[in-house]
Amino acid sequence: MEILAFGVQSDEKPLIEKAFAGKHEVRCLDVFLNRDTAPIAAGYEIVSTSVNADLGGAVLQALAAGGTQLIAQRSTGFNNIDLDVAERLALRVARVSYYSPYSVAEFAWTLAMAANRRVIRAASRTRDFDFRLDGLLGRDMHGRTVGVIGTGKIGEAFTRIAHGFGMKLLGWDVAENPACVELGMRYVDKEQLLAEADLVSLHVPLLPATHHLIDKDALALMKDDAILVNSSRGGLIDTSALVVELRAGRFLGVGLDVYEAEAGLFFLDKSLEGVDDDTLARLVTFPNVIVTSHQAYYTEDAVGQIIDATVKNVDDYLAGRRSENVLVPARPGA
C-alpha cells in the first residue's frame, strides 16, 4: 500500500518515512492539499494531510472520485474538514486526538515572555550593536494574574507553568479541570477573566461557538497593558478588531502563533512575493506584536507522537478497527 502525504515539512519527512518503513510505502509532498492539488491524489486509497489542508466539500469530492477512502490528518484540530460531506461520500476521516500538550503550552509561554521582555526588539538591536535599554522595560510575572481560556490538556500544562511563576490563576471553560483547581485556579465568567487578567492565553478549539470568541467587545474588556496570546486557532480572535485596538495603543504585547486567514500563507515561503493580506501586513508592523507561523506544536516529541498516531490510524483502517481518532466512519453507520 502506497500512502500519499501532503504538506510534509523537510524536518518531518525523514520521521514519516522511518515510521512507515517496513509497513507501507509513503510518498511525501511539500505541497498542501487544496482544490488545485487534489488531483494528485487520484489512485491513492489513503491520503495524509496537514493542519492547513483544505478539506472542504469540493476537495473531498475530488478525493472520493479519485478512489481515496481514508484521510488521516496529522493534527488534533479538524475545523478545516467538512465532516458532513465526508460522511455522505463514505470517506473515513481520522485525526490525532492527543500529542504532547507541553509543546504548545511551552511555546505559548515563549510568546508571552518574548512580548513581555521585548526580546525580538532587543535581539534586533544588538545585531546592529545597539545595546540601549530604552523601550525594553518588562515586568515580573510573579504575583500577576493569568487568565486561561480553555483548561484542557494544553491549558492545564500552561497553568502549571503559570503556577510555577507564582501567578494568580483564573480559568474559563465549559467544565472545570480538577487539576487546575488543585493548583489554585478560580473559575470565573469570561468577562471577569478578561477584565482582571494581566495575561490572557487561548487554549480552546475552533468551533462555531468559539469563532471570534475574542471580538471587539471582549478586547474592550481587557486591560490596556494586558498581554494576549493565541497558540490555538486563528479564528478565535477577530483580527480586524484586534488591529483597531492596537492602533489605539492598547496592550503591552500580543503573541500570535496562528492567524485566521493563515491558509495559503503559513508554512510557505512568501518572502519574494507581495502578500495581499492587508490585515496581516498591518499586524506585523506593530512593535508589540509577535507573529509566528503555527509552530507551537513543532517539537521532536510532539511531531513524533503525531506521526506514530497517524501510522496507527492507517493500521486500524486496514484492519477494520475503530479508535477514538476516527471522526467519520468508512461507511455511514459503521
**Per annotation, catalytic residue among 95, 118, 144, 294:** 294
**Per annotation, catalytic residue among 74, 144, 233, 250:** 233
How far from each other are the two terminal CA atoms of the chain, in whole angstroms? 23
d(CA 309, CA 273): 36
Catalytic residue check, 212? no
d(CA 139, CA 252): 10
Radius of gyration of the chain (CA): 21
Catalytic residue check, 262? yes
Q: Is 152 helix (H, G, I), strand (E, B) or coil?
A: coil
**Per annotation, catalytic residue among 262, 273, 322, 324:** 262
d(CA 92, CA 30): 23
Return phi, psi of residue 296, to 5°: -55, -40
Cell of 128: 546592529
- Residue with grid cell 465568567, as numbered in its chain: 189
Catalytic residue check, 233? yes
Return phi, psi of residue 47, to 5°: -125, 135
- Category of 238 on φ-ψ map: left (φ > 0), alpha (ψ -120 to 50) or beta: beta
Residues with a known catalytic role: 233, 262, 294
